[in-house]
């Protein structure tokens, strides 16, 4: 089942910048996030609370979160690898916390230095932390099933392992799970099959989002397949910035501009002003002059007479 509106979650300030050699200045990050929100982006993953020794690009995440939560209507998301990161996220005021659990245990050990059992222990500890907070201050807690469609270190992952990880994350206290094609191994058929399988064990209401890469050019095809299965939240990165530093060859997020154009062309509302969105590329390019920005829509321009999805009429 499909819907006539979707949520585009911009992950460029986290997933995009973590894969860049240069470090975007804090002031430039703030301008970029503010401009994205002004363009109608309703959720932004603004950073990750990881060791600055490992990812110096994320050293200012606390300051960035505190800036972003002041923007009206913006859902501020962060990635955390453990309880310590979650504590920092809570202190900064993040609205959403994502904990990655790589279904490839080899990748999990390389990425966050945790086995599956250890990640589940972290999930339980984070859930316990969240429950101590007043209800209005509790961030939404997502467990991300990373490398779900295959791993550059292990290859295909047994579906039984993936389903068990999904069940364990929910049992540990996550509000939902998400599917992540960290390495760009997914295809439309595997996308549909795995969404159905995971929903079969956690429930459709507990799997609403996917994080897909365009490493082999199937990003938008996989998005469409997921949308046809009823997925309503899609991660993407402005200019296709990003990838996973600990998964060899895992480059290229889905390009936000192309993703928004596809949905709006289909009559599916994203709430995003494409012209304003594409204008934010100038901020990124100025701050990161040596980084390549991708996307067909920004280069070709919008078709003559393009209007996008019709604005829904409110019921009286």
| Catalytic residue flag (residue 151) | no
Compute φ and ψ for 171, nearest 5 degrees. -65, -30
Dihedral, 165, 76, 10, 270 alpha carbons, nearest 10:
100
* 79 bridge partner residues: 48, 98
Dihedral, 207, 51, 91, 69 alpha carbons, nearest 10:
-70
Q: Which of 151, 165, 174, 244 is catalytic?
A: 244
**Could you give the residue numbers annotated as active site?**
244
């Amino acid at each position: 089942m499909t819907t006539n509106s979707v949520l585009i979650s911009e992950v460029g300030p986290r997933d995009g910048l973590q894969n860049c050699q240069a470090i975007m200045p804090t002031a430039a990050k703030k301008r970029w996030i503010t401009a994205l929100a002004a363009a109608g982006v309703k959720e932004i993953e603004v950073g990750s609370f990881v060791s600055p020794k490992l990812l110096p690009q994320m050293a200012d995440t606390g300051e960035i979160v505190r800036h972003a939560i002041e923007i009206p209507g913006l859902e501020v998301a962060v990635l955390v690898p453990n309880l310590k990161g979650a504590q920092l996220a809570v202190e900064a005021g993040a609205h959403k916390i994502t904990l990655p659990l790589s279904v490839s245990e080899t990748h999990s050990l390389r990425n966050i230095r945790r086995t599956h059992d250890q990640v589940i222990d972290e999930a339980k500890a984070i859930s316990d932390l969240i429950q101590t907070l007043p209800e209005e201050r509790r961030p939404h807690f997502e467990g991300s099933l990373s490398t779900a469609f295959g791993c550059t270190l292990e290859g295909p992952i047994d579906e039984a392992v993936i389903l068990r990880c999904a069940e364990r994350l929910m049992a540990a206290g996550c509000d939902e799970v998400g599917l992540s094609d960290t390495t760009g191994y997914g295809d439309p058929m595997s996308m549909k099959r795995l969404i159905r399988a995971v929903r079969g064990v956690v429930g459709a209401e507990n799997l609403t989002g996917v994080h897909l890469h365009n490493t082999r050019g199937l990003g938008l095809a996989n998005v469409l397949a997921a949308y046809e299965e009823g997925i309503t939240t899609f991660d993407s990165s402005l200019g296709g910035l990003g990838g996973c530093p600990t998964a060899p060859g895992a480059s290229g997020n889905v390009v936000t501009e192309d993703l928004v154009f596809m949905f709006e062309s289909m009559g599916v509302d994203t709430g995003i002003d494409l012209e304003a969105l594409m204008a934010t590329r100038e901020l990124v390019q100025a701050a990161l002059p040596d980084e390549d920005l991708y996307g067909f829509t920004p280069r070709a321009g919008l078709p003559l007479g393009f209007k996008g999805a019709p604005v829904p009429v409110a019921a009286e």
